[in-house]
Amino acid sequence: MNKTILQGRLTKDPEMSASSEGLVISKFTLAFDRYVKGQNESNFIDCVAFGKTAELIAKMQKGKGLIVESELAQDRWQDAQGNNKSKVKLVVQRISYPLQDKRTETRQEDVAF
């Protein structure tokens, strides 16, 4: 099973593009907090979304709170010097918005790509 649920904030406005087949792609970075030995530590992870989910994310702005349901994926490549490199990212399948207060319900966008 490969499933990740993460709540964070957009670090900048998402970048939207389209594949050669016309599939909408949104790339963005989520900032999230992790507590280590009683200290708050900020972390960042790159994310990518496709289709309707990507279209929704592309409308969001820096600082927007977001909950993503996703899969972990690892990109691998060789740099110009022949060194092997890799990077982990989240491939987003569903999004929802965090609760703003107790009276607000979480809104979910259940969109498959």
Mean pLDDT of 27-52: 93
- Decide if pLDDT at 105 tops 60: no
Q: Which domains does the chain have, with CATH numbers?
A: 4-103 (2.40.50.140)
Binned at pLDDT 50, 70 and 90, residue 104 comes out as very low
Binned at pLDDT 50, 70 and 90, residue 48 comes out as very high
Binned at pLDDT 50, 70 and 90, residue 55 comes out as very high
Q: Give a three-class secondary structure readout of the chain.
A: CCCEEEEEEECCCCEEEECCCCCEEEEEEEEEEEEECCEEEEEEEEEEEEHHHHHHHHCCCCCCEEEEEEEEEEEEEECCCCCEEEEEEEEEEEEECCCCCCCCCCCEECCCC
What per-residue string of b and e applies to 55-73 under the rule 16 or more CB within 10 Å gives b?
A: bbbbebeeebebbbbbeee
CA gap 85, 20 in Å, rounded: 26
Q: What is the pLDDT of residue 36?
A: 86
- Decide if pLDDT at 103 tops 70: no
Mean pLDDT of 49-76: 94
Distance of CA 29 to the CA centre of its chain: 6
